[in-house]
Amino acid sequence: MSILSPSVLFVIFSGVMIGIIVGAIPGLNGAIGISLLLPITFTLEPQIGLLLLGGIYMGGMYGGSITAILLNVPGDVVAAPAAMEGYPLTQQGRSKEALYYSIFSSMFGGFIGVLILIFFTPPLASFALKFGPAEMFFISLSGLVVVGALAGSIYKSLFAVLFGLFISTVGVDMITASQRFTMGNINLRSGISVVPVVLGLFCLAEMFLNIGKKATEVVEYKDQDINKMTVIKDIVRQKSLVIKSSLIGTFVGLLPGVGTTLAVFLSYGEAKRVSKNPELFEKGNVEGIIAAEAANNATVGSSLVPLLALGVPGSPTSAIIAGALIIHGVILGPSLFVQRPDIAYTFIFGMLLTVVAMTLIGAFGIKYFSYILKIKMEYIVPTVLVFTIFGAYSLRNNVFDVLIAIILGVIGAIFKKTGVPLAPIIIGVVLGGLIETNLMRSMTIANARQVSLVRYMLTNPLAIVLLVMVCAIFYVVIKMRATTKTQ
Amino acid sequence: MGAVWIIFSIVAYTQIGGLPAQSALFPKVIVYGIGITGVLIIIDSLVKVKKGIKTDESTLTKSVLVFQILIPGSLLFITYNLLTVFGFYVSGFFLIMAVFFYQTYRANNTKMNLRHFLRGLIFATLNIATMYIIFTVLLGLPVPRGSFFN
């Protein structure tokens, strides 16, 4: 299937458009958009469905900056720097300029991230084919370093990961056929799927907490006119800032589980550090917008590298995309490029088109963005709730999954209010099976060789290198966390 | 919160008892981990209290718990029960109406009037009709079937 065929282009543009809309609506974000549209992908070919989700991911990452710039309401924490620099510009009547800086910086960042995805993923995947259970165990473990990356209490993050792993253990154990945590319920025997977990934690919990929020502020769109080319030329003039921010985003995105927030704040902090006019930051400095927006879109492509090459999601959103792949019967990890190269290559090259679509929609749709902000919460909340019920049901055509989503929605809302992060739960659910399977395989091999598990795992030099890598990633993440806190 | 996690880990641990060793290993590590995390968070809180550092990151108030979590959760739970009787579209219609009125009441603290009721009715009808066209007519996706309606 050609990625330039009209139907594929339509899906990509639709995905990006949906991503920008859900990203721009306060209270929604790309992850919610992806979760809600998961059921739609069941009817599409896997690669087309994935491109739809990839488009939402890319568009959602940019869309968050629209409300941040126009309303000073960052839909997500990653859009906070865009609000800090963009809203002062809006107050000066320069919102169009700020939005142009945002979209074109996102474009540069997005391209760099996707190029890394294209050039890094296939060689990394072919290298990863040499991995045995011990190596895969350490790689899966690396995804859990997310606990060190998040702001707030490390214990709460650790609990969140463990809670996700716990959810992954519910059901019949495939090796001994014994039931774990099913409490005798027949519906729990087949385990808890990632889809109701995602829908419950991301959509329902978010909607619960949106209940009672007043209608979004209506924006009067009176603005100074500015030429797109003026902005593009200025961004090109600041190429070192764009490239550095994109590379920061790319590097952070590559670290499994670390996420976008760190990337955005690191680039923003670095831009402020090297700026000739640091005193203008938080007063409407376009350098801050360029740095933050280039970094956040660069993470999109690079965070998909560990998912496609190793089967380890690099961000909560890619964890949801992992769920979509699993639903389509695609086995994640290095074998994806051997067994389903059609899916893998269509997806990674199609992601380039998501950047093009985002740029076109973003650059030409600026005057219409204010209309998105007029959608009231009283229309959004009930619609999302009904969509969520449908989404939870549609995976296995089982009403019990709806109940799971509702229960996790209530738990998720309580967790959000008590400072327990939700993203590590999803990553725990996705990685739980992979970690346990590889641990069990390692134990079986160790028993067969009559050596201890630790000795078996650390016999192979590759496994030792991976273990060191896991420790190094954890160290880097903790250092980054400390740096971000200081900034 | 730490105490809740410890209790959760104890309850979960009681479920592992009868499992074969191989099946119990991974869940056991997780359950121990949750229990230990619970203990650590209690110790962390005590240390912070001793040092006079503000400990409570929680913004979970009684009002949030009741009005933003439990009441919407109950509405969804009612909808879940309605699904098996009335099917997806009728239950979805109920949910949209209920949440629309509740959301407007919570946001604006206004009582429902006829104009508001009609707005909700039109919105719910259009919403459900759109979903029916997309899910059932165009995509042919299965939706929860009730005893009385699909």
Q: Does A378 sit within 8 Å of B19, measured CB to CB?
A: no
Residues of B in contact with A214 (CB under 8 A): 107-108
Q: What is the pLDDT of residues B126-144, one digit of tens each?
A: 999 998 998 888 877 788 8
Q: Does B15 sit within 8 Å of A181, measured CB to CB?
A: yes
Q: Best residue in A167, A388, A417 to probe B by mutation, most B CBs within 10 Å? A: A417
Q: Which residue of B has its CA nearest to A44?
A: B139
**In this complex, is the C-beta atom of A44 within 8 Å of any C-beta atom belonging to chain B?**
no
Instruction: Pull the structure tokens for residue A361.
Output: 């929609």
* pLDDT at A410 exceeding the cut of 90: yes
Q: What is the pLDDT of residues A111-165, one digit of tens each?
A: 999 998 888 888 877 777 777 888 888 877 777 765 555 556 788 888 998 999 9
**In this complex, is the C-beta atom of A176 within 8 Å of any C-beta atom belonging to chain B?**
yes
Amino acid at A331: I
Residue stretches of chain B with pLDDT short of 70:
54-58, 148-150
**In this complex, is the C-beta atom of A76 within 8 Å of any C-beta atom belonging to chain B?**
no
B4 three-class SS: helix
Question: Residue-wise over A27-59: b if at least 16 C-beta within 10 A, else e?
Answer: bbbbbbbbbbbbbbbbebbbbbbbbbbbbbbbb
pLDDT, chain A, mean: 83
d(CA B114, CA A111): 52
* pLDDT at A66 exceeding the cut of 70: yes
Q: Which of residues 70-99 of B touch A (CB under 8 A)?
A: 70, 72-73, 76-77, 79-80, 83-84, 88, 91-92, 95-97, 99
Q: How far is A168 from chain B (nearest CA, A)?
A: 9
A171-172 and A179-180: which strand pairing? Answer: antiparallel
Q: Which of residues 362-421 of A touch B (CB under 8 A)?
A: 377-379, 381-383, 385-387, 389-390, 393-394, 397, 399, 402-403, 406, 409-410, 413-414, 417-419
The full length of chain B comes to 150
Q: Which residue of A has its CA nearest to B33?
A: A162
pLDDT at A36: 79
Q: What is the pLDDT of residues A255-270, one digit of tens each?
A: 665 567 778 887 888 8
Q: Which residue of A has its CA nearest to B16?
A: A180
Residues of A in contact with B144 (CB under 8 A): 389, 393, 399, 402
Q: Does B127 sit within 8 Å of A383, measured CB to CB?
A: yes
- Cα A367 to chain centroid distance, Å, stands at 27
pLDDT at A484: 62
pLDDT at A223: 67
**What is the percent of chain A with per-residue pLDDT over 70, rounded to a whole number?**
91
Size of interface A-B (CB pairs under 8 A): 180
- Contact call for residues B57 and A418 (beta carbons, < 8 A): yes
Beta bridge partners of A171: A180
- DSSP character for B21? H
Amino acid at A194: V
